A and B are shown apart, each in its own frame.
Chain A
């Protein structure tokens, strides 16, 4: 995480947890920002776990099997479908 992002993050958090000097819209922005950061952290954790599994498998020297290929393809197909279909859903109405 780079320093400007960390600074903005801490600023946002301090704004939320301190007193009522921030306007409601700024508090909402800070909360959205926190929610986004939460998603980023969760995503990085998932990626790290997956990459570690792959690396361990490669380092083990174990031969690849048909089951490995099937599993990779099935998981990719499922994720691909979710990603592409997410673009066809109408966004919620804004105020």
Chain B
């Protein structure tokens, strides 16, 4: 039986690292959307998820080992999702401001109801587009 040559040792170490990382990652993904109970938490979870996958997408599109078809899919999904996600964030900001105003009696419940309906609309619009980006980046 031949012994491993010295130039193969780094590869084995890399292999062990990759396997260890895969084992560690299996089954331990946090889910902010499942944790969200209110509409503002859901909107925050959705935009935060969008941003997280966008940041990883930005790394992936610069990686030489990644095929161009994958990079193109990420670019397309991000281009479509970004304006809707930004509108979602604006609606969330508006909702939080009105909620704070209501707490000090500076606005009415009607205004909060309008802001809530608006936020719900943007959550509905953004969710499938953000899921498309998640899929393009390689999430479930």
Contact = CB atoms under 8 A, between A and B. Distances in A.
Q: How large is the interface on B (under 10, 10 to 19, 20 to 34, 35 or more residues)?
A: 35 or more
Interface residues on A, range: 35 or more
A39 B63 contact: yes
B54 A80 contact: yes
A23 interface: no
A46 B56 contact: yes
Contacts of B53: 47
A84 B78 contact: yes
A87 interface: yes
Contacts of A63: 96
B35 A58 contact: yes
A68 B75 CA distance: 25
Interface in A14-37: 16-17, 19, 32, 34-37
Contacts of B89: 69, 72-73
Contacts of A59: 35
B92 A58 contact: no
B62 A48 contact: no
A3 to B, nearest CB: 13
Interface of A: 1, 13, 16-17, 19, 32, 34-48, 50-52, 54-59, 63-64, 66, 68-69, 72-73, 75-76, 78-80, 82-84, 86-87, 91
